[in-house]
Chain A
Amino acid sequence: MSKKEVIDPVTRVEGHGKITIELDDDGDVEDTQFHVTEFRGFEEFVEGRPVWEMPEITARICGICPVSHQLAAAKAVDEIADVEIPEGAYKLRELLHMGQVLQSHALSFFYLSSPDLVLGYDADPEKRNIEGVLEENPQLAERGIDLRSFGQDVIATLGDKKVHPDFAIGGGVTNTLDREDGQQLLEQSEDLDTYVRETIDLLQEIFAEMDDDTLDYATYETGYMGLVDEDGGLEHYDGDIRLVDEDGDLLEEIDDGDYADIIGERSEDWSYLKFPYYKGRDFEDGQYRVGPLGRLNAVDQLRTPQAQEEFERYMDAADGPVHERSTYYHWARLIEILYCIERIRELLDDDDVYDGVPNVPTKPEKNNGVGVIEAPRGTLIHEYDVDDTGKVTNANFIVATTHNNGAMNKGVRTAAEKFVDGPEIPEGTLNKMESVIRCYDPCLSCSTHAIGDMPLEVTVEQDGEVLDEVSR
């Protein structure tokens, strides 16, 4: 009998991840918990404010993907105003979003994960950062910086700021793009597709050298979720929600406004982060994954040519109809980076982003609106109820990291069973635990470990007694 520990909010620090491993009487892993520590109450403090402010306010939820929140909120406002946004505005929003997904993925892969992949999980922690990669493989680090800058520059060109840009509003966007700026971005995008494809090749070499334990320490069955376009293709900005099962078979494909019909949420007393699950199944079997791996498992195709080629190569490498390895999030993420570059070019070649109408006027027409997009880390849902004057009376957000909560916990459990044997935490385990979580690129850990490591505390407990504790 081991004791479940309830986390004490006072000891917790914003953004810290904490893992508790419980051992049974024989010293084997009985249970693991990955705790999350955010409390900001955004859903509450937007209450009473005009819904038109939501794109601006909710962007402040996250400094890493403010654009995602801004877009989800803007889509919900469109619904409340009951307007179809102009074609140009639609494409400009997608363009902004592609810049966002690109920069976020580049941050995740090149800045945060490549140190583990290139230098090894057991490398000197002082070196295991982007500076270390810059020494070991300068080309890779510089390309990572170029890719991320490009995504950031797309955002900055449209929104004038890289973090919390001012661009998407209810009814459309603030401005169209200048041709000169578009041309400059097109020029800047030259060679970037090649960089990504060469990085995908490099990743294959890295995977080939990895031992099976490392490659497969977080491999397991779940469902997968993502938005799809009308042809079942990858879609980040606007589409239906598709959920497939562990064999890649279709479970649901629904209008995004109906999300509550299929997604349930459960709270656990040891984490502030809720646990969503598929309502058509019980909690355990209803776990699903979102984000790059989830999306590529859910879709049939990618609509840009180079990304489609890479997608085919990726799916050919799977043992079955889906990829179950959490480590392949990295591969899927690179394919999405390629997709973003190609989509950005297509959109920049479209006259509508220069000559289209930026927005239509809005006023409150309906009392409810839902906005769903594929944020870099997965499906992001904003829902607002408003009164007749457009003031928010109720808000509900399901952010991408939340969907993966169950899967991250499962990953931590799988890794603990593999690496922890007895009361002491072996060397290197901390980083392996962390890298399971890092595959999912969760928001709680994002920006600060760009230089350094993710703050993490691992505790091994037996009968409620702490046997070992490692933290940094």
Chain B
Amino acid sequence: MTERPRVAFFDFTGCEGDQLQVVNLEERLFDLVEVVEVVSFREAMSEHSDDYEIAFIEGSVVTAHDEERLAGIRENADVVVALGSCAAFGGINAIRNDQDFETVTERVYGDDADMIEANPEARPIESVVEVDATIPGCPIDREEFVQVVTGLIRGVEPTLPNHPVCVECKLEENECAFHRDEICLGPVTRGGCGADCVGEGTHCWGCRGMVDTPSEDAYTAVLEEHGLDAEEIVEQYQLYWGWQRPERATQEEAQ
């Protein structure tokens, strides 16, 4: 890594909210550009230029062109970072992985549906290229972004918290969402967010993805205890984890 690494941002299918979180650093953005050189915030230079070292990638992969483009970026970058949940593990876009794709496109575009050449599944970038670091979250946490950038500059491999959101709820002294009769994904979701949503009075939606070794069976039992049927439980799991869960299931089968 050079002293002031050249950094590029790219977006695929998503809402661009993670890049906005970077803009949301506001005054600190100017500190950031002192330590890195932002050479592209998507468009300032050609995608196929090899003139960047760190590529931050937002959004999930939905077209064949996305795959090619992503492979090109991988070739040019020393370090590829998945920015946000859509890039990291498919995120909310992957809800549709469970739906019939033809129905989806026809309902939106009617007779023009055949002009859509997207893949039937929305996938995380690691399904196409090797990923060096991940910043999950919907949206990303700005502090975590700064930490990862700082780490990369110093040559430290960034690590993610691997405890469930419940741990953070305890530290924040939040009332448990289950006690408020809400269904909460906190027990199996990766922490690091400060349990903001529970603190605000709602519940964890699972936006940071699953922890590495979730106690899914035990958790499913908890959900059953709260009166959810199988379909409703799957619905909970599918909100952000439409890609992540089937993948895990396949891996486990392989083992």
CB distance from B247 to the nearest CB of A (A): 19
Report chain A residues within 8 Å CB of B38. 451
Contact B117 A44 (CB under 8 A): no
Report chain B residues within 8 Å CB of A162. 21, 24
CB distance from B199 to the nearest CB of A (A): 7
From A15, which residue of chain B is reached at the shortest CB distance?
B11
The listed residue (A50, A63, A449) touching B41 by CB distance below 8 A is A449
Q: Given A44-B104, A166-B200, A448-B43, are A53 and B20 also a contact pair (CB < 8 Å)?
A: no
- Of the candidate stretches B107-115, B151-159, B208-216, B219-227, the one touching chain A is B107-115
- Of the candidate stretches A144-152, A210-218, A226-234, A332-340, the one touching chain B is A144-152
Contact B196 A63 (CB under 8 A): no
CB distance from B147 to the nearest CB of A (A): 17
A92 at interface, CB cutoff 8 A: no
0/1 interface trace, chain A 52-86, chain B, CB 8 Å (1 if under): 01001100111110100000000000000000000
From B139, which residue of chain A is reached at the shortest CB distance?
A163
CB distance from B253 to the nearest CB of A (A): 26
Report chain A residues within 8 Å CB of B11. 14-15, 448
From B141, which residue of chain A is reached at the shortest CB distance?
A161
B44 at interface, CB cutoff 8 A: yes
Within 8 A of A (CB), among B45-76: 59, 62-65, 69
Report chain A residues within 8 Å CB of B115. 6, 9, 269
Contact B43 A60 (CB under 8 A): no
Contact A60 B92 (CB under 8 A): yes
From B101, which residue of chain A is reached at the shortest CB distance?
A41
CB distance from A274 to the nearest CB of B (A): 9
Q: Given A10-B117, A11-B65, are A62 and B17 also a contact pair (CB < 8 Å)?
A: yes
Q: Given A60-B138, A450-B23, are A174 and B117 also a contact pair (CB < 8 Å)?
A: no
B197 at interface, CB cutoff 8 A: yes
A250 at interface, CB cutoff 8 A: no
Contact B69 A61 (CB under 8 A): no
A446 at interface, CB cutoff 8 A: yes
Report chain B residues within 8 Å CB of A61. 15
0/1 interface trace, chain B 218-240, chain A, CB 8 Å (1 if under): 00000000000000000100010
What is the total of A-B residue contacts with beta carbons within 8 Å?
A: 163
Report chain A residues within 8 Å CB of B13. 14, 39-40
Interface size class of B (residues with CB under 8 A): 35 or more
Report chain B residues within 8 Å CB of A47. 99
- Of the candidate stretches A180-188, A306-314, A452-460, the one touching chain B is A452-460
Interface size class of A (residues with CB under 8 A): 35 or more
**Docked pose: A448 CA to B199 CA in angstroms:** 31
Report chain A residues within 8 Å CB of B93. 40, 45
CB distance from B104 to the nearest CB of A (A): 4
Contact A60 B15 (CB under 8 A): yes
CB distance from B206 to the nearest CB of A (A): 11
Contact A39 B24 (CB under 8 A): no
The listed residue (B27, B109, B138) touching A164 by CB distance below 8 A is B138
B131 at interface, CB cutoff 8 A: no
Report chain A residues within 8 Å CB of B64. 10
CB distance from A360 to the nearest CB of B (A): 14
Within 8 A of A (CB), among B106-132: 107-110, 112, 115-118
Q: Given A14-B11, A448-B42, A455-B43, are A164 and B99 also a contact pair (CB < 8 Å)?
A: no
Report chain A residues within 8 Å CB of B200. 159-160, 166-167, 174-175
Report chain B residues within 8 Å CB of A49. 95, 235, 239
* Nearest 10 CB-CB pairings of A with B: A63-B17, A174-B201, A455-B43, A63-B15, A163-B139, A45-B96, A452-B44, A44-B104, A447-B16, A447-B20
Give 16 pairs: A residue, B residue, CB < 8 Å, sorted on A: A10-B117, A14-B13, A40-B93, A41-B108, A44-B103, A44-B108, A45-B95, A62-B15, A63-B14, A145-B26, A161-B196, A447-B17, A448-B9, A449-B42, A451-B23, A452-B42
